[in-house]
């Protein structure tokens, strides 16, 4: 499962947290030293030029490289989350989306590829698509 990191100032901390859980494929919209990660056997791709675009637009642009499911990271606070527990929770509930909440704040999510069925233009992921996913009983919250 790939990990998508949105525009964050210190993505290295997040990457290191995910690597500790066995993840090795990352796409980030933040600045990182991709050569450092490649030397350490980690597939880290930096996407340039999308700082003002919506989350939906960013995901649609990288859709072809995401595969069946992916983590989306919104906050550095995800580095305090037990990722194995989150992934098991997501698998057990067999839903399209599991939002990851910490201290009443959304820090990340796990999405199945079916999320793209909800991301038609000009819909907003957080304000509209996730509402529809919830109405379709395909949304869980891990906290």
| Separation in Å, CA 42 to CA 21, 25, 34 | 13, 6, 9
Over residues 35-93, the pLDDT tens digits come to 888 998 999 999 886 667 899 999 999 999 998 899 999 999 999 999 999 999 999 99
Over residues 89-131, the pLDDT tens digits come to 999 999 999 999 999 999 999 999 999 999 988 889 999 999 9
- Tell me the CB-side half-sphere exposure of residue 135, using CA atoms within 13 A: 7
Domain coordinates in residue numbering, the chain: 2-142
Q: What is the homologous superfamily of the domain 2-142 according to CATH?
A: Spore Coat Polysaccharide Biosynthesis Protein SpsA; Chain A (3.90.550.10)
The per-residue b/e assignment along 83-113, b for 16 or more CB within 10 angstroms, e otherwise, is beebbebbeeeebbbbbbbbeeebbbbbbbe
Q: Is the pLDDT of residue 33 over 90?
A: no
């Amino acid at each position: 499962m790939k990990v998508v990191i949105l525009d964050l100032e210190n993505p290295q901390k997040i990457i290191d947290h995910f690597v500790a859980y066995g993840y090795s494929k990352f796409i980030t919209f933040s600045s990182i030293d991709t050569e450092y990660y490649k030397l350490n056997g980690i597939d880290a791709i930096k996407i340039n030029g999308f700082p003002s675009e919506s989350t939906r637009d960013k995901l649609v642009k990288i859709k072809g490289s995401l595969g069946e499911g992916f983590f989306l990271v919104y906050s550095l606070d995800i580095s305090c989350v037990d990722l194995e527990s989150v992934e098991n929770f997501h698998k057990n509930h067999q839903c399209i989306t599991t939002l990851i909440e910490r201290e009443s704040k959304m820090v990340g999510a796990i999405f199945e590829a079916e999320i793209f069925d909800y991301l038609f233009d000009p819909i907003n992921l957080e304000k509209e698509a996730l509402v529809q996913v919830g109405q379709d009983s395909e949304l869980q919250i891990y906290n």
